[in-house]
Structure 1
Amino acid sequence: MIQEPSRLPLLRRQGPPLVSLLVALALRLPATAGAAPSIDALLQQYVTADTRVHARGTTLTVQPTATVVRTTTRRVVRRAGGRSLAVGLLPESNKGVILADDGAWTIRYDPREAIVRKKRCLDPPTRVFEERRLRLLKRNYKVTLDGTETVAGRTCRILTFRPKEGRDRITRVWLDVRNGFELRRDELDANGSTITMSLYTSIDYPSTISLAEVTPRFPRSARIESISRSGLHADFTSLSRSAGFEVKRPLTLPAGYEFIIGTVAGISGRNSAFLRYTDGLSDLTMIQTPYATRGDQPSRGVRVLPRPYGETEVDCILDRMQVVLVGGGDARDLVATVESLHGSVEDAWRRDVNAVFHDHAQNISAMRDRGLSSAVIVALLTLSAQSGRSTSAVLRSYLKERCWRDLARRWRVPEAMVERRIRSLAIRG
């Protein structure tokens, strides 16, 4: 879809071929709307729209590269409450591929394999997760309202999300003024070039969508494989117990990300731990699989591999554990996250922290069990030491609000002091 020439999206990697593709699909023109709500109100509407809105339409995902434009077209139905069903239309390799999510389970069916793979959903559509996502968006991004445009025949407000620290990707989303439903999303790099774009080319909001319409149907001959081996876990102790091995906790995370949930799934006969991290807008998924036989490699250096639609895969073997991390963002941040899994890195960091905080460091293990990074833990220990509150009380407050800066302001602890302490106890490379 296309704007006026002066407002064309920045698709510098591909240029005219991609623009022509979008012109052929639909027309997008500047639109007008009444007085906009506040940014906070728009964000609230945005994070709840997926579970409040019935929607039916066709989506297009585009990734321009130096040599080719990758596109995927799907027919999508979403039911208020969190259920969804997507069926691949194009390209031919994606035709008939089914992706279904009922809020508890995700299902993928590829007609070429005739296998239905079922696993736990790592994004449960609950009020608790919606509230947490809203807090993370406010904490991690500077959000601006940048006018209105029409997408798929609907007037949309454009929100631009700029990371407050650590990253140079910019995300723009087009939200239907009627209900806050996301109709388009663009990921841009530091130069303004498009990394990936996803948009609805058609959309309808029916008053009702039946359960049958979001229930996938497969041939009777299809084989069903449930790869899940556990429920969802919010701490590493219970996750490790379900996995049957000690799940490693990354000590460093890309700026703004935090651990959300974990589960256990079976891959090639072995239990693997799946960990989900988010910054409120983008997600990271880490998979850990132990090697049990002596013939396996005890270690292997880090490899960085490009993935479709702007994601990066980082994988390695360390201490007889295969680790794969997949997500967007700077590959260097993902590599640092994987490398921080080494036990020697945590041992050295704990010695430094104990030397500074002494008794206040007694709850480090409880904080690490909740997946908190080194930077957040140092911030919370500093708040405990400066405010006179126990580390357990500070941890409870943080788990409720997810922003140490808000706690620092409330307890009148200078943020600059906390930042200096975080820098002084940063992980040594």
Structure 2
Amino acid sequence: MELIKNVIEKIWLILIVTIIISSQISAYADVPKPEALFVKMSQAYQTVDFEGRFTMIFRLPMGSQSLDIQEYRKAPNKRRIEIISPSDIAGLGMVVDGEERWRLESNEKKHLPFRFLPPEHLEETQFQNFRLLLRNYKVGVFNGGSVAGRDTYLIEITPKQQNRPSRKLWIDAEKGIPLKSELYDTQKVLRRLIAYSKIDFNSAIDDKLFKNPRRFWDTRKRPPGPKGEEIWNYNQSKVDINKLREKTQFDIVVIEQLPGGFALQSINTIEIDKAKNAHLKYSDGLTALSVFQSPFDRPPDRGKPEGPPPPNREKQRNEPPPGPPPGPEKEEKVKIKGIDCIILVKGPVTIIRWNKGGVYFTLISELEKNDTIKIATDFIGK
């Protein structure tokens, strides 16, 4: 009798294991490959119109901030985002129409100590270089269940190296639009959550939503802003340093591969008061960092900027830079390979500044301070 009982228990155990394995196989069977899903996600914003509402929660050094946001998007390049709550900043937001963008504000609220995040800070399609992402991160695709009443795929992106952020994305299975995102910092703590509660892909969206919301007396012509130009990106041939120096008009320093799997993605010039500045963008597929370079000596014939003098913004408003309120800052002076450097830590961001060879450098990253110092060391040693 005892023998029969043991046999039955083993049979039940085998059946349970078989069911678990079968369910795992079925969970993987119908999901697309990561590359195909990334392509679909990147193309979705160029082709799909929708109206939706999402909640964004981001962690700050002094606590967390939660926003409810109404969004309208009309492919390929029109977008309107407007804060619904909290009530003290309701109505603020931004309108984008191609290259044009305007802030949504009202007379009674425009002086609040808050500036709304630009739309690209909310974008969840910054995975253009898939090979680089797959080189530095493990990417898994699973059935993601329902988000805002829609079937989704879940993309889990985990780093192959220590001290790197990770991310989870829930992608609409039919449309390819990200419906939920969780971003974790290098310590595996949730830093930002974006989740749609409502989304409508069949809504008729009026073009009037994307017009300049300002009154006619606020639309007077102002002096042109800084001129920017992309002079190289990773889809082009190998970097020609001599040609780049001709365009930037100073001895720009370029390193194509940085420690930790970071690769050069693009180089832009920014002209401010007739002086060229360079912006080098690096990525490991998920995490980005920037190196700004500008010459010490400005051209002698710069003179004053053309056009009427800019308004005194300090008198007009008392607002911090774009984004959430800055956290406590900690600045220290160090020497890296004999060069005096200033390190500034602002929340999750580490900034290192130094001067060398007639060029002023600013490195900005969201890596740990020691990892950021390693990257600065490469530039200083170049």
Shorter-normalised TM-score: what interval? Answer: 0.5 to 0.7
Counterparts of 2:176 and 2:60, CA distance in 1: 30
Q: What does the per-residue CA deviation read over 1:184-227, in whole Å, with 9 as the maximum and x for residues that have no partner?
A: 21122455421222232332223665655445433332464543
1:326 shift after superposition: 3.2
Which residue number corresponds to residue 227 of structure 2?
229
Q: Are the aligned partners of 1:289 and 1:321 in contact in 2 as well (CA < 8 Å)?
A: yes
What is the match of residue 375 of structure 1? none
1:62 matched to 2:57? The reply is yes
Which residue is equivalent to 2:335? none
Q: Is 1:181 aligned to 2:186, yes or no? A: no
Q: Which of 281, 286, 311 matches 2:286? A: 281
The farther-off stretch of 212-221 and 195-204 is 212-221
Match runs of 1:276-425 below 5 Å: 276-292=281-297, 300-307=340-347, 311-319=348-356, 320-342=358-380, 345-346=381-382
CA contact (8 A) 2:79 2:97 kept: yes
Question: What is the alpha-carbon distance in structure 2 between the residues aligned to residue 198 and residue 334 of structure 1?
Answer: 27
Choose between structure 1 and 2 for higher RCO, CA contacts under 8 A separated by at least 6 residues. Answer: 2
Give 1:173 deviation, angstroms: 0.6
- Give the deviation of 1:246 after TM superposition: 2.9
How far apart are the structure 2 equivalents of 1:150 and 1:301?
Answer: 49
Contact 2:186 2:368 in 1 (8 A): no
Question: Conserved in 1, the CA contact under 8 Å of 2:95 and 2:104?
Answer: no
2: CA distance between counterparts of 1:109 and 1:321? 35
The Cα offsets for residues 225-248 of structure 1, whole Å up to 9 and x where unpaired, read as 543424221156555444432333
Residue 352 of structure 1 is matched in structure 2 by none
Q: Identify if the C-alpha distance between structure 1 residues 301 and 237 changes in structure 2 by more than 3 Å, giving closer, same or farther.
A: same
Counterparts of 1:141 and 1:287 in 2: how far apart (Å)?
Answer: 26
Distance change in 2, residues 1:329/1:50 (3 Å): farther
Instruction: Report the CA distance shift for 1:154/1:96 in structure 2 as closer, same or farther (over 3 A).
Output: same
Partner of 1:202: 198
TM-score (norm 1): 0.57
More strand by share: 2
In structure 1, the residue matched to 2:70 is: 75
| CA distance in structure 2 between the aligned counterparts of 1:175 and 1:82, rounded to whole angstroms | 20
Kindly provide the CA deviation profile for residues 285-307 of structure 1, in whole angstroms up to 9, marking residues without a partner as x: 333233337xxxxx752313225
Specify the alignment match of 1:246 in structure 2: 251
Amino acid corresponding to residue 231 of structure 1 in structure 2? E
Distance 1:339 1:194 in 2: 30
Query: Residues of 2 paired with 1:86 and 1:232: CA distance?
Result: 27
* Alignment of 1:137 onto 2:133: yes
* Matched residue, 1:397: none
Change (3 A) 1:66 1:306: closer
Following superposition of structure 1 onto structure 2, how do residues 211-222 of structure 1 map, counting pairs within 5 Å? Answer: 212-220=208-216, 221-222=218-219
More helix per residue = 1
Q: Distance in 1 between matches of 2:102 and 2:252?
A: 26
- Which deviates further from its counterpart, 51-60 or 238-247? 238-247
Cα distance change, pair 132–38 in 1 and its aligned pair in 2 (3 A)? closer
Q: 1:164 aligns with which of 140, 160, 166?
A: 160
In the alignment, the residues of structure 1 paired with residue 208 and residue 340 of structure 2 have an alpha-carbon distance, to the nearest angstrom, of: 47
Q: 1:254 deviation in Å?
A: 5.1
Unaligned runs of 5+ residues in structure 1 are: 1-31, 114-120, 294-298, 347-429
Q: Which residue pairs with 1:29 in the alignment?
A: none
Q: Which amino acid aligns with 1:285?
A: S
C-alpha change, 1:210 and 1:258, in structure 2 (3 Å) is farther
Aligned residues with identical type, % of pairs: 18
Any stretches of 5+ residues in structure 2 without a counterpart?
Answer: 1-26, 112-118, 233-238, 299-338
2: CA distance, partners of 1:138 / 1:246: 34
Residue 49 of structure 1 aligns with which residue?
44
CA contact (8 A) 1:154 1:176 kept: yes
Residue of structure 1 equivalent to 2:150: 154
On the 8 A contact 1:287/1:323 being kept in 2, the answer is: yes
Shift of 1:316: 0.7
Q: Residues 337, 88 of structure 1: CA spacing in aligned structure 2 closer, same or farther, 3 A cutoff?
A: farther
Aligned to 2:33: 38
CA contact (8 A) 1:166 1:255 kept: no
Q: What CA RMSD, in Å, does the superposition of the two structures yield over aligned residues?
A: 3.9
* Matched residue, 1:261: 266
Q: Equivalents in 1 of 2:223, 2:265: separation in Å?
A: 25
Question: Cα distance, 1:176 vs. partner?
Answer: 1.0
Structure 1: distance between partners of 2:363 and 2:104: 24
Q: How many residues align?
A: 293
How far 1:174 moved relative to its partner?
Answer: 0.9
Following TM superposition, by how much is the alpha carbon of 1:62 offset from its aligned partner in structure 2, in angstroms?
1.7
Distance (Å, rounded) in 2 between the aligned partners of 1:136 and 1:155? 28
- The DSSP-based 3-state class of the residue aligned with 1:148 is strand
**How far is 1:168 from its partner?**
3.5
Distance 1:227 1:246 in 2: 25
